[in-house]
Amino acid sequence: MLIRDTLEGYGIVSRLFHWLMAIAIFGMFALGLWMVRLDYYSPYYNAAPNFHRDLGMLLLLALVVRWLWRAANPKPVSDDLTPAERKISNVVHWGFYVLLLVLMVSGYLISTQDGESIDVFGWFSVPSIFRMPGLEDRAGYIHRLFAYAVIALAVVHTLAALKHHFIDKDDVLGRMWSGPKARPKSKEDNSQ
Ligand code: HEM
Ligand code: HEM
Protein backbone atom coordinates (compact mmCIF):
# COMPACT_ATOMS: atom_id res chain seq x y z
CA MET A 1 0.00 0.00 0.00
CA LEU A 2 1.29 3.43 -0.97
CA ILE A 3 1.88 5.52 2.19
CA ARG A 4 3.38 8.73 0.82
CA ASP A 5 2.03 10.85 -2.03
CA THR A 6 3.75 10.55 -5.39
CA LEU A 7 3.53 12.64 -8.56
CA GLU A 8 0.95 10.10 -9.82
CA GLY A 9 -1.46 10.31 -6.87
CA TYR A 10 -2.32 10.45 -3.17
CA GLY A 11 -1.02 7.87 -0.65
CA ILE A 12 -3.12 6.36 2.13
CA VAL A 13 -2.20 9.01 4.73
CA SER A 14 -3.43 11.94 2.61
CA ARG A 15 -6.53 10.01 1.55
CA LEU A 16 -7.47 9.14 5.14
CA PHE A 17 -6.90 12.74 6.24
CA HIS A 18 -9.01 13.98 3.32
CA TRP A 19 -12.05 11.75 3.75
CA LEU A 20 -12.14 11.59 7.58
CA MET A 21 -11.79 15.35 7.85
CA ALA A 22 -14.41 15.95 5.12
CA ILE A 23 -16.96 13.82 7.03
CA ALA A 24 -16.04 15.51 10.33
CA ILE A 25 -16.30 19.02 8.84
CA PHE A 26 -19.77 18.44 7.36
CA GLY A 27 -20.79 16.85 10.69
CA MET A 28 -19.40 19.78 12.71
CA PHE A 29 -21.35 22.21 10.54
CA ALA A 30 -24.64 20.39 11.15
CA LEU A 31 -23.85 20.00 14.86
CA GLY A 32 -22.98 23.73 15.15
CA LEU A 33 -26.25 24.85 13.55
CA TRP A 34 -28.27 22.45 15.72
CA MET A 35 -26.57 23.13 19.06
CA VAL A 36 -26.94 26.94 18.99
CA ARG A 37 -30.73 26.47 18.77
CA LEU A 38 -31.02 24.13 21.79
CA ASP A 39 -32.90 25.52 24.77
CA TYR A 40 -31.61 25.48 28.32
CA TYR A 41 -33.72 22.42 29.27
CA SER A 42 -32.34 20.19 26.51
CA PRO A 43 -30.14 17.33 27.85
CA TYR A 44 -27.64 18.29 25.11
CA TYR A 45 -27.44 21.98 26.07
CA ASN A 46 -23.91 21.59 27.52
CA ALA A 47 -22.89 18.23 26.05
CA ALA A 48 -23.26 19.24 22.38
CA PRO A 49 -21.06 22.39 22.52
CA ASN A 50 -18.51 20.48 24.64
CA PHE A 51 -18.31 17.76 22.02
CA HIS A 52 -18.16 20.38 19.21
CA ARG A 53 -15.26 22.15 20.96
CA ASP A 54 -13.33 18.97 21.77
CA LEU A 55 -13.64 17.51 18.27
CA GLY A 56 -12.86 20.96 16.84
CA MET A 57 -9.54 21.07 18.73
CA LEU A 58 -8.65 17.60 17.43
CA LEU A 59 -9.48 18.81 13.92
CA LEU A 60 -7.21 21.82 14.41
CA LEU A 61 -4.39 19.46 15.35
CA ALA A 62 -5.23 17.22 12.35
CA LEU A 63 -5.20 20.26 10.04
CA VAL A 64 -1.67 21.22 11.13
CA VAL A 65 -0.36 17.63 10.81
CA ARG A 66 -2.08 17.25 7.43
CA TRP A 67 -0.53 20.48 6.19
CA LEU A 68 2.95 19.38 7.38
CA TRP A 69 2.42 16.02 5.63
CA ARG A 70 1.34 17.87 2.47
CA ALA A 71 4.47 20.06 2.61
CA ALA A 72 6.74 17.01 3.11
CA ASN A 73 5.33 15.12 0.09
CA PRO A 74 5.40 15.73 -3.66
CA LYS A 75 2.20 17.29 -5.02
CA PRO A 76 0.42 14.86 -7.35
CA VAL A 77 0.13 16.33 -10.86
CA SER A 78 -2.93 15.36 -12.85
CA ASP A 79 -2.74 15.07 -16.64
CA ASP A 80 -6.55 15.04 -16.56
CA LEU A 81 -6.66 18.73 -15.60
CA THR A 82 -6.11 21.64 -18.00
CA PRO A 83 -3.53 24.27 -16.86
CA ALA A 84 -6.42 26.61 -15.89
CA GLU A 85 -8.14 23.84 -13.87
CA ARG A 86 -4.85 23.08 -12.13
CA LYS A 87 -4.48 26.73 -11.09
CA ILE A 88 -8.09 26.90 -9.83
CA SER A 89 -7.79 23.64 -7.90
CA ASN A 90 -4.56 24.90 -6.28
CA VAL A 91 -6.32 28.07 -5.13
CA VAL A 92 -9.29 26.02 -3.82
CA HIS A 93 -7.01 23.60 -1.93
CA TRP A 94 -5.02 26.42 -0.31
CA GLY A 95 -8.29 28.26 0.32
CA PHE A 96 -9.51 25.28 2.36
CA TYR A 97 -6.42 25.31 4.59
CA VAL A 98 -6.72 29.07 5.26
CA LEU A 99 -10.53 29.08 5.80
CA LEU A 100 -10.36 26.04 8.08
CA LEU A 101 -7.53 27.55 10.13
CA VAL A 102 -9.49 30.79 10.70
CA LEU A 103 -12.66 28.79 11.47
CA MET A 104 -10.96 26.64 14.07
CA VAL A 105 -8.94 29.45 15.68
CA SER A 106 -12.09 31.61 15.94
CA GLY A 107 -13.88 28.64 17.59
CA TYR A 108 -11.00 28.35 20.05
CA LEU A 109 -11.24 32.09 20.82
CA ILE A 110 -15.02 31.95 21.46
CA SER A 111 -14.50 29.06 23.83
CA THR A 112 -11.51 30.41 25.80
CA GLN A 113 -12.15 34.17 25.97
CA ASP A 114 -13.50 33.75 29.52
CA GLY A 115 -10.14 32.31 30.67
CA GLU A 116 -11.44 28.70 30.67
CA SER A 117 -9.22 26.07 29.06
CA ILE A 118 -10.60 23.35 26.75
CA ASP A 119 -10.34 19.89 28.20
CA VAL A 120 -10.22 17.77 25.04
CA PHE A 121 -12.19 14.57 25.85
CA GLY A 122 -10.27 14.45 29.17
CA TRP A 123 -7.08 13.55 27.21
CA PHE A 124 -5.27 16.90 27.32
CA SER A 125 -6.06 20.51 28.06
CA VAL A 126 -5.67 23.53 25.76
CA PRO A 127 -5.18 26.70 27.84
CA SER A 128 -6.74 30.10 27.22
CA ILE A 129 -3.99 32.41 25.93
CA PHE A 130 -5.82 35.49 24.65
CA ARG A 131 -8.54 37.65 26.22
CA MET A 132 -10.06 40.91 25.04
CA PRO A 133 -13.38 42.68 25.76
CA GLY A 134 -15.97 41.94 23.02
CA LEU A 135 -13.84 39.14 21.60
CA GLU A 136 -16.56 36.50 21.98
CA ASP A 137 -18.99 38.39 19.72
CA ARG A 138 -16.41 39.17 17.06
CA ALA A 139 -14.98 35.64 17.03
CA GLY A 140 -18.56 34.28 16.96
CA TYR A 141 -19.37 36.36 13.89
CA ILE A 142 -16.17 35.24 12.11
CA HIS A 143 -16.80 31.62 13.10
CA ARG A 144 -20.30 31.61 11.59
CA LEU A 145 -19.13 33.42 8.41
CA PHE A 146 -16.18 31.06 7.84
CA ALA A 147 -18.28 27.97 8.59
CA TYR A 148 -20.63 28.96 5.74
CA ALA A 149 -17.65 29.84 3.50
CA VAL A 150 -15.99 26.43 4.08
CA ILE A 151 -19.22 24.60 3.30
CA ALA A 152 -19.89 26.71 0.18
CA LEU A 153 -16.37 25.95 -1.09
CA ALA A 154 -16.81 22.26 -0.22
CA VAL A 155 -20.04 22.09 -2.24
CA VAL A 156 -18.39 23.64 -5.32
CA HIS A 157 -15.33 21.38 -4.82
CA THR A 158 -17.59 18.29 -4.57
CA LEU A 159 -19.55 19.24 -7.70
CA ALA A 160 -16.26 19.71 -9.58
CA ALA A 161 -15.04 16.26 -8.44
CA LEU A 162 -18.35 14.65 -9.48
CA LYS A 163 -18.23 16.40 -12.87
CA HIS A 164 -14.74 14.94 -13.45
CA HIS A 165 -15.97 11.51 -12.50
CA PHE A 166 -19.34 11.30 -14.26
CA ILE A 167 -19.05 13.74 -17.19
CA ASP A 168 -15.33 13.87 -18.09
CA LYS A 169 -14.95 10.25 -16.91
CA ASP A 170 -11.34 10.85 -15.85
CA ASP A 171 -9.38 9.62 -12.82
CA VAL A 172 -9.35 12.78 -10.65
CA LEU A 173 -11.78 11.36 -8.05
CA GLY A 174 -10.33 7.84 -8.32
CA ARG A 175 -6.86 9.13 -7.38
CA MET A 176 -8.24 10.63 -4.16
CA TRP A 177 -10.49 7.62 -3.41
CA SER A 178 -8.30 4.60 -4.15
CA GLY A 179 -4.88 6.11 -4.93
CA PRO A 180 -2.95 6.26 -8.18
CA LYS A 181 -3.71 3.67 -10.86
CA ALA A 182 -1.18 0.82 -11.05
CA ARG A 183 1.16 1.49 -13.97
CA PRO A 184 0.95 -1.16 -16.72
CA LYS A 185 4.10 -3.28 -16.63
CA SER A 186 6.59 -2.34 -19.34
CA LYS A 187 8.37 -4.98 -21.46
CA GLU A 188 11.55 -4.45 -19.40
CA ASP A 189 9.57 -5.07 -16.16
CA ASN A 190 8.17 -8.31 -17.64
CA SER A 191 11.55 -9.58 -18.73
CA GLN A 192 12.90 -9.42 -15.15
C1 HEM B 1 -14.63 21.96 11.32
C2 HEM B 1 -14.65 22.94 12.13
C3 HEM B 1 -15.89 23.65 12.61
C4 HEM B 1 -17.11 23.85 11.99
C5 HEM B 1 -17.55 23.41 10.60
C6 HEM B 1 -17.92 24.62 12.93
C7 HEM B 1 -19.21 25.06 12.68
C8 HEM B 1 -19.99 25.78 13.55
C9 HEM B 1 -21.31 26.31 13.27
C10 HEM B 1 -22.05 26.17 11.94
C11 HEM B 1 -21.74 26.94 14.38
C12 HEM B 1 -23.10 27.65 14.55
C13 HEM B 1 -22.94 29.13 14.26
C14 HEM B 1 -24.23 29.90 14.42
O15 HEM B 1 -25.19 29.63 13.68
O16 HEM B 1 -24.26 30.79 15.29
C17 HEM B 1 -20.71 26.83 15.39
C18 HEM B 1 -20.78 27.36 16.66
C19 HEM B 1 -19.80 27.23 17.60
N20 HEM B 1 -18.56 26.64 17.44
FE21 HEM B 1 -17.88 25.73 15.76
N22 HEM B 1 -17.19 24.84 14.09
C23 HEM B 1 -15.95 24.26 13.91
C24 HEM B 1 -14.90 24.25 14.82
C25 HEM B 1 -14.98 24.76 16.09
C26 HEM B 1 -13.90 24.76 17.06
C27 HEM B 1 -12.46 24.29 16.77
C28 HEM B 1 -14.38 25.29 18.21
C29 HEM B 1 -13.69 25.53 19.52
C30 HEM B 1 -12.62 24.97 19.94
C31 HEM B 1 -15.75 25.67 17.97
C32 HEM B 1 -16.59 26.29 18.89
C33 HEM B 1 -17.87 26.75 18.63
C34 HEM B 1 -18.69 27.43 19.60
C35 HEM B 1 -18.31 27.76 21.05
C36 HEM B 1 -19.89 27.76 18.95
C37 HEM B 1 -21.11 28.45 19.57
C38 HEM B 1 -21.06 29.90 19.15
C39 HEM B 1 -22.26 30.66 19.65
O40 HEM B 1 -22.77 30.34 20.72
O41 HEM B 1 -22.66 31.58 18.92
N42 HEM B 1 -16.09 25.32 16.66
N43 HEM B 1 -19.64 26.13 14.86
C1 HEM C 1 -15.34 19.70 3.77
C2 HEM C 1 -15.06 18.85 2.83
C3 HEM C 1 -13.78 18.83 2.01
C4 HEM C 1 -12.59 19.48 2.19
C5 HEM C 1 -12.21 20.47 3.31
C6 HEM C 1 -11.70 19.07 1.11
C7 HEM C 1 -10.39 19.52 0.95
C8 HEM C 1 -9.51 19.11 -0.03
C9 HEM C 1 -8.13 19.49 -0.14
C10 HEM C 1 -7.43 20.48 0.81
C11 HEM C 1 -7.61 18.85 -1.21
C12 HEM C 1 -6.14 18.92 -1.70
C13 HEM C 1 -5.39 17.70 -1.25
C14 HEM C 1 -4.99 17.79 0.21
O15 HEM C 1 -4.34 18.77 0.60
O16 HEM C 1 -5.36 16.86 0.95
C17 HEM C 1 -8.66 18.05 -1.80
C18 HEM C 1 -8.52 17.26 -2.92
C19 HEM C 1 -9.56 16.55 -3.50
N20 HEM C 1 -10.85 16.45 -3.03
FE21 HEM C 1 -11.62 17.30 -1.39
N22 HEM C 1 -12.36 18.18 0.29
C23 HEM C 1 -13.64 18.01 0.81
C24 HEM C 1 -14.62 17.18 0.31
C25 HEM C 1 -14.54 16.47 -0.87
C26 HEM C 1 -15.61 15.67 -1.45
C27 HEM C 1 -16.99 15.48 -0.80
C28 HEM C 1 -15.12 15.16 -2.62
C29 HEM C 1 -15.79 14.28 -3.67
C30 HEM C 1 -17.02 13.86 -3.71
C31 HEM C 1 -13.74 15.61 -2.77
C32 HEM C 1 -12.89 15.28 -3.81
C33 HEM C 1 -11.57 15.63 -3.90
C34 HEM C 1 -10.68 15.21 -4.99
C35 HEM C 1 -11.08 14.33 -6.17
C36 HEM C 1 -9.42 15.78 -4.74
C37 HEM C 1 -8.15 15.63 -5.59
C38 HEM C 1 -8.10 16.76 -6.58
C39 HEM C 1 -6.80 16.73 -7.41
O40 HEM C 1 -6.15 15.70 -7.51
O41 HEM C 1 -6.46 17.81 -7.93
N42 HEM C 1 -13.43 16.40 -1.69
N43 HEM C 1 -9.82 18.23 -1.07
- Of 124, 173, 182, 142, the C-alpha closest to 8 is 182
Specify the CATH number of the domain 12-180.
1.20.950
* Helix axes of 47-71 and 12-35: crossing angle, nearest 10 degrees: 150
Give the pLDDT of residue 105: 98
Give the pLDDT of residue 80: 84
The number of beta carbons lying within 10 Å of the beta carbon of residue 127 is 9
Q: Cβ distance 75 to 8 under 8 Å?
A: no
**What ligand is nearest to the CA atom of residue 55?**
1
pLDDT tens by residue, the chain, 192 residues: 899 999 989 999 999 999 999 999 999 999 999 999 999 999 999 999 999 999 999 999 999 999 999 999 999 987 888 999 999 999 999 999 999 999 999 999 999 999 999 999 999 999 999 899 999 999 999 999 999 999 999 999 999 999 999 999 999 999 999 988 765 554 444 433
Return the residue whose CA atom lies nearest to atom 11 of ligand 1. 32
Cβ of 18 below 6 Å from ligand 2:
yes
Give the pLDDT of residue 179: 86
Of 28, 40, 111, 125, best ligand 1 pocket probe by most atoms within 8 Å of the beta carbon: 28
The model's pTM is: 0.93
Give the pLDDT of residue 79: 83
